[in-house]
Amino acid sequence: MLERLNEAMDHIEDHLDETVDAAELARIAMTSEYHFRRMFSALAGIPLSEYVRRRRMTLAGAEVLAGERTLLDVAVRYGYSSGEAFARAFRAVHGVGPGEARRTGAALHSQPRMSFRLIVEGSSSMRYRVVEKDRFRLVGRGTRIPLVYEGMNPAIVEFVKSIGKETLGRWEERATGEPDGVLAVVSNHSAEDAEGTELDYFHGVVSETEVPGASEALDIEPGLWAVFESSGEFPLAVQYLWRDVYTQWFPSNPYRSRPGPSLSRTRVSEDGTYADAEVWIPVERAGD
Same domain, 274 and 134: yes
Phi-psi region of 125 (alpha: psi -120 to 50; beta: other; left: phi over 0): beta
Same domain, 193 and 240: yes
Same domain, 96 and 148: no
Q: Average pLDDT, stretch 249-270?
A: 88
User: According to DSSP H, which parts of the chain are helical?
Assistant: 2-14, 22-29, 33-44, 48-66, 71-77, 83-94, 98-104, 154-163, 165-174, 236-244, 250-252
Same domain, 174 and 214: yes
pLDDT higher at 123 or 111: 111
Say if 17 falls within a structural domain: yes
Say if 274 falls within a structural domain: yes
Cα(200)–Cα(205) distance, rounded to whole angstroms?
Answer: 16
Cα(5)–Cα(247) distance, rounded to whole angstroms?
Answer: 12
In the predicted structure, residue 211 carries a pLDDT above the cut 60: yes
Q: Average pLDDT, stretch 197-211?
A: 88
pLDDT value of residue 234: 83
Contact status, residue 228 vs residue 278, Cβ threshold 8 Å:
yes
In the predicted structure, residue 148 carries a pLDDT above the cut 90: no
pLDDT value of residue 189: 60
Contact status, residue 112 vs residue 44, Cβ threshold 8 Å:
no
In the predicted structure, residue 223 carries a pLDDT above the cut 90: yes
Question: What CATH number is attached to the domain comprising 21?
Answer: 1.10.10.60
Say if 113 falls within a structural domain: no
Cα(217)–Cα(133) distance, rounded to whole angstroms?
Answer: 18
Domain span holding position 18: 2-104
Same domain, 136 and 69: no
pLDDT higher at 45 or 66: 66
Same domain, 265 and 173: yes
Same domain, 140 and 279: yes
pLDDT value of residue 162: 94
Contact status, residue 254 vs residue 286, Cβ threshold 8 Å:
yes
Confidence grade of residue 5 (pLDDT, cut at 50, 70, 90): confident
pLDDT value of residue 123: 40
Contact status, residue 16 vs residue 59, Cβ threshold 8 Å:
yes
Contact status, residue 116 vs residue 5, Cβ threshold 8 Å:
yes
Cα(40)–Cα(25) distance, rounded to whole angstroms?
Answer: 11
Cα(13)–Cα(216) distance, rounded to whole angstroms?
Answer: 46
Same domain, 145 and 243: yes
In the predicted structure, residue 169 carries a pLDDT above the cut 60: yes
pLDDT value of residue 58: 94
Three-state secondary structure readout of 193-246: CCCCCEEEEEEEEECCCCCCCCCEEEEECCEEEEEEEEEEECCHHHHHHHHHHH
Q: How many residues does the chain have?
A: 288
Confidence grade of residue 153 (pLDDT, cut at 50, 70, 90): confident
Same domain, 26 and 75: yes
pLDDT value of residue 193: 53
Same domain, 242 and 99: no
In the predicted structure, residue 120 carries a pLDDT above the cut 90: no
- Dihedral, CA of residue 5, residue 10, residue 15 and residue 19, to nearest 10: 10
Q: Average pLDDT, stretch 116-134?
A: 70
Same domain, 157 and 210: yes
Domain count for the chain: 2
Contact status, residue 193 vs residue 259, Cβ threshold 8 Å:
no
- Dihedral, CA of residue 213, residue 239, residue 253 and residue 2, to nearest 10: 140
Say if 121 falls within a structural domain: no
Q: What is the mean pLDDT of the chain?
A: 87
Distances (CA, A) of 81 to 58, 85, 96, 98: 18, 7, 20, 15
Cα(251)–Cα(42) distance, rounded to whole angstroms?
Answer: 12
